[in-house]
Amino acid sequence: MEAMEALPKEETLQLRQKHYGPSCKLFFKENPIKIVRAEGQYMYDEQGNQYLDCINNVAHVGHCHPTVVKACTEQMSLLNTNSRFLHDNLVTYAKRLTATLPDKLSVCYFVNSGSEANDLALRLARTYTGNYDVVVMDNGYHGHVSSLIDISPYKFNHTGGEGQKPFVHLVPVPDVYRGLYRENVPDVGEKYAMEVKHTIDAARRQGRKIAAFICESLQSCGGQIIPPHGYLREVYKHMREAGAVCIADEVQVGFGRVGSHFWAFQAVDDEACPDIVCMGKPIGNGHPMSAVVTTPEIAEAFGATGMEYFNTFGGNPVSCAIGLAVMDVIDKEDLMGNASRVGNYLMEGFRKLGEKHDMIGDVRGLGFFIGVDLVKDKKSREPATVEAQHIIYRMKESFILLSTDGPHRNVLKLKGPMCFTTKDADRVLVNLDQVLTEIESARTRKHALLPAKVEAASSNNTLEHAVCSYRKDVHSKRSGPIFTGSHTLSHDALFGNTKRPTDNDSDDDEAKRQKTWAGVD
């Protein structure tokens, strides 16, 4: 199926610049991509080029999955209305969703975005406790509405932000690679949790009362951080002793992405159970929907205020049909198992590349939630920010979509559609190997890649200039063309005789999967 391009790319770009808010950024300021269709883990531009999507965790079960599309169109052709009417889809979905969670988490609210979910979670926590203050993790991000910008250091501590409000209390990121306590510290999870206790105690001395602790179960924008074992369990204990509730922001990482468990908080610590769980992004596979699940006690306190909670689109029959379809696909296609197999395979591959390339400082992740921390020097762990931006542009030239995150923008993040295969993984690994080799070759020739004053700069404009200069220099040092398709890849070149997982990735299975996407029996 070929998608038609309604407007030439240049006209599309000009109209966007004229009519769309300038604070809404594009991927790739230099020659942005115009996407016209997608399927599975692939996206296609107006010229028919296929891009391997490593970043869209929203298209959780694969772009335009036929099961999800069918559920949407069939229900839309029958009815879409609000939750003030009885409908089987709402209660069926609520029952199925809560069945994936600990028993005490049994009451749902359906909303439309991760931001709405986290905003509602704050209301629930503040109503239940009667308190207002919030404890948050440094570098955290929880949404774009005003209430969430206020509790998101990723926003309020950076360009355009208003800084930390008095009711917000920051705790250190439990980062064992760059943080306060590192990988060689005994009981590192408990030590990071004690930092939270110290923060609670300091707030109490100031007469502050804490309503909630909110954190992503795995920090995403902060650099793909995996908390050490015991951290969440101990933090939740300290927060409850202070009379606060615990909110797990699973907007980025839920619905089986970690492979071993349906929810990331379960994978991090099987003894940690939040009081409120917020869901979004993957829940609808691209359809705008989200959810908050909490305990009966918290829900009853919220209802006891007498104020009705109504959301025009939350819990509508179409959204619930889509949500059910997404869960069907996760189960039927064993996407959690695939996340484990492919994610572990990718991380093994990145670590092998790290033995060859000093720029790979750390590889971390769970399932198909992976971060590759790039450094200028393994000993100092100085972030390789400019190099990371160069890498994502070079991978784009090979039709692979990557992005970076973390406070230094030096962490390559991979959290693409869960139907990703080991062949796709090989393609990423071999291309990254070549790009890193190019960079190291330029360095070996003792060529000054960046002036020191540019390398030290931190503003976005200066960074973009630095990346442009860097890219021009390294481009001139290329030894040859980079691999661009799966048929050119050499798995053996990376792994010798190591076999890739075969459960989900035989040629026959791949052919069948492609037929499914194409609607061929």
pLDDT digits over 215-257, tens only? 999 999 999 999 999 999 999 999 999 999 999 999 999 999 9
Which of 267-271, 300-304, 457-461 shows the lowest per-residue confidence on average (mean pLDDT)?
Answer: 457-461
Alpha-carbon distance 315 to 321, whole Å? 10
Query: Which DSSP helix (H) or strand (E) runs through 464?
Result: helix 460-475
Report pLDDT for 462: 55
Report pLDDT for 2: 54
- The beta-strand segments (E) located in 130-285 are 133-137, 168-171, 210-216, 245-249, 276-279
Set out the domains of the chain in order of their start, with CATH numbers.
Answer: 9-60+383-518 (3.90.1150.10), 66-332 (3.40.640.10)
Please state the φ and ψ torsions of residue 402, each to the nearest 5 degrees: -125, 165
Report pLDDT for 3: 54
Is-contact 216 232, C-beta < 8 A? no
Q: Which of 49, 53, 33, 50 is CA-nearest to residue 41?
A: 53
pLDDT band per the 50, 70, 90 thresholds, residue 472: low
pLDDT band per the 50, 70, 90 thresholds, residue 474: low
b/e map 364-391, b = 16+ CB within 10 Å: bbbbbbbbbbbbbeeeeeebbbbbbbbb
Q: Specify the pairing of strand 42-45 against strand 107-111.
A: unpaired
Q: Is the Cα torsion angle 264, 408, 116, 78 positive or negative in sign?
A: negative
When pLDDT is averaged across residues 393-422 and rounded to a whole number, the result is 96
Number of H helices, E strands in the chain: 18, 15
The conformation of residue 375, written as its DSSP 8-state character, comes to: B
Report pLDDT for 470: 56
Report pLDDT for 30: 84
When pLDDT is averaged across residues 511-520 and rounded to a whole number, the result is 40
120-155 pLDDT per residue, tens: 999 999 999 999 999 999 999 999 999 999 999 999
Alpha-carbon distance 227 to 215, whole Å? 11
Q: Which amino acid is at 332?
A: K
**Cβ neighbourhood burial of 397 (10 Å; 0-12, 13-18, 19+):** middle
- Give the chain's largest Cα–Cα span: 72
Alpha-carbon distance 289 to 279, whole Å? 9
Q: At what angle do helices 296-303 and 114-129 cross, to 10 degrees?
A: 80
Alpha-carbon distance 255 to 240, whole Å? 26
pLDDT greater at residue 290 or residue 509: 290
Alpha-carbon distance 80 to 287, whole Å? 14
pLDDT band per the 50, 70, 90 thresholds, residue 339: very high
When pLDDT is averaged across residues 206-213 and rounded to a whole number, the result is 97
- Number of other CB atoms surrounding residue 226 within 10 Å: 23
When pLDDT is averaged across residues 177-189 and rounded to a whole number, the result is 94
Which of 156-165, 335-344, 383-392 shows the lowest per-residue confidence on average (mean pLDDT)?
Answer: 156-165
Question: How far does the chain reach from its first CA to its final CA, in angstroms?
Answer: 16
Alpha-carbon distance 142 to 117, whole Å? 10
Which of 179-183, 295-299, 333-337, 429-433 shows the lowest per-residue confidence on average (mean pLDDT)?
Answer: 179-183
3-state secondary structure at position 430: helix
Task: Give the C-alpha distances (Å, rounded to integers) separating 469 from 377, 405, 462, 473.
Answer: 21, 21, 11, 6
The conformation of residue 179, written as its DSSP 8-state character, comes to: S
Q: Which of 60, 92, 80, 82 is CA-nearest to residue 324?
A: 92
Q: Which long-range contacts (CB under 8 A, 24 or more apart) does 328-332 make?
A: 328/67, 329/61, 329/62, 329/65, 329/67, 329/68, 330/60, 330/61, 330/255, 330/256, 330/418
Dihedral of the CA atoms 311, 314, 318, 320 (nearest 10)?
-150
**Cβ neighbourhood burial of 36 (10 Å; 0-12, 13-18, 19+):** middle
The conformation of residue 458, written as its DSSP 8-state character, comes to: -
**Helix ranges, 20-113 (H):** 66-76, 88-98
- Number of other CB atoms surrounding residue 419 within 10 Å: 26
